[in-house]
Chain A
């Protein structure tokens, strides 16, 4: 793999026209760096779910990624409503999304569980009324 890489994407709440752009760009970066395809798939799926959460729930947010020879680390920081009960939010099928979001194909209550499933580690810090920081890591040193 080539040299370490990092970058930042800005996310606007409810900007559905561009939702998913950041994860798509991250996918391209990882492809160009020569990361193995199964790991690219896991990283981009986790990033996509996290990005959609920010677009759906927050006013705005940033996605920052760091790729080193050992890991892909992605941090999403948002200005959003916060998550009152993280354990509950991690439950498959639990969602607070409104119906119009469900009719767009989201809000199925699978986002956070899907990030957890694809990442090697996941940390969520949230303050109700302020925002949420979500960080996940995918290890590169061993194969998927």
Chain B
């Protein structure tokens, strides 16, 4: 599944990095703890979170994540968006809560392993 295909089913709005939407997603990770994501998320995973702190961009970049999906309609502050644009990290936002997002991605075949 690519980010593009994922975006269709989830009512997401792409906030940064829409040039990289063709990327294939290797799995999914849901967490709001940066240390956990840095420790456990794998390359090519899409990351679902409520966290909008600027450091999410560094974590996604460091781990080579496919993109970040923010939940509950959350919008990151300007410094996060700025950094994401600079580092070419995809950030999307959806009005759905994380449980719903994960459930739907799981039904589409995405796993965390």
Contact = CB atoms under 8 A, between A and B. Distances in A.
Interface of A: 91-95, 99, 102-103, 105, 108-109
A108 B70 CA distance: 13
Contacts of A105: 32-33
A108 B51 contact: yes
Contacts of A109: 52-53, 77
B53 A95 contact: yes
Contact of B74 (A93, A94, A103): A93
B77 A94 contact: yes
B52 A99 contact: no
Interface of B: 32-35, 50-53, 55, 74-77
Query: Which of the listed residues A93, A94, A95 has the most CB atoms from chain B within 10 Å of its own CB?
Result: A93
A103 B35 contact: yes
Contacts, number: 29
Give the 8 A-B CB pairs with smallest separation, nearest first. A93-B52, A93-B77, A103-B33, A103-B35, A94-B77, A102-B53, A93-B76, A108-B50
Nearest to B53: A102
B72 to A, nearest CB: 10
Contact of A102 (B34, B75, B76): B34
A108 B41 CA distance: 21
A76 to B, nearest CB: 25
Given A93-B75, A93-B77, A94-B77, A99 B55 contact: yes
Nearest to B55: A99
Contacts of B32: 105, 108
B34 A99 contact: yes
A103 B34 contact: yes
Contacts of A93: 52, 74-77
Given A99-B55, A102-B34, 11 more contacts: A92-B75, A93-B52, A93-B76, A93-B77, A94-B77, A99-B34, A102-B51, A103-B33, A105-B32, A108-B51, A108-B53
Contacts of A95: 53
Nearest to B80: A93
Contacts of B77: 91, 93-94, 109
